[in-house]
Structure 1
Amino acid sequence: MIAKVEAGKSSPTAMLLGKLSGAFGITISTLLARAENANRSRVLRHDQRLAWRDPQSGYVRRQVFPVPGSTVPIDLVEVELPAGAKVAYPASSYSFAKHLIWVQKGRLVFVEGKQEHLLRAGDCLELGEPQDCRYENRSGTTCTYLVLLLRQAP
Structure 2
Amino acid sequence: MNTIEDTLNARISARIRIERESRGWSLSELADKAGVSRGMIHKIERGDSSPTAALLGRLSGAFGISMSTLIARAEMQEGKLLRFENQPVWRDPLSHYLRRHVSPRSDLPIDLVQIELPAGSDIPMPASSYALARQLIWLQQGTLLFIEGDTQHAMRPGDCLELGPPSDCRFVNDSDSPCIYLIVRLNHSGS
TM-score normalised according to structure 2 size: 0.74
Give the distance between the partners of 1:89 and 1:102, measured in 2 at CA.
Answer: 18
Shift of 1:128: 0.5
SS at match of 1:144: strand
Equivalent residue in structure 1 for 2:131, among 91, 95, 110: 95
The change in CA–CA distance for 1:8 and 1:21 in structure 2 (over 3 A counts) is: same
* Mapping of residues 37-52 of structure 1, within 5 Å: 38-52=76-90
Q: Which amino acid counterpart does residue 79 of structure 2 have in structure 1?
A: S
- Give a deviation string over 1:43-72, Cα, whole Å, max 9, x none: 10111000000011111010011x23x232
Give the distance between the partners of 2:69 and 2:161, measured in 1 at CA.
Answer: 22
Give the distance between the partners of 1:110 and 1:141, measured in 2 at CA.
Answer: 16
Comparing both structures, which one devotes a greater share of its residues to helix? Answer: 2
Structure 1 residues not aligned, in runs of 5+: none
- Give a deviation string over 1:64-84, Cα, whole Å, max 9, x none: 11x23x232211100000000
- Identity level (%): 55
Larger Rg: 2
Give the distance between the partners of 1:25 and 1:71, measured in 2 at CA.
Answer: 22
SS at match of 1:152: coil
Identify the residue that residue 23 of structure 1 maps to in structure 2. Answer: 62
Relative contact order higher in (CA < 8 Å, ≥ 6 apart):
1
Range moving further from structure 2, 70-79 or 110-119? 70-79
Equivalent residue in structure 2 for 1:8, among 28, 44, 47: 47
Structure 2 residues not aligned, in runs of 5+: 1-39
Comparing both structures, which one devotes a greater share of its residues to strand? Answer: 1
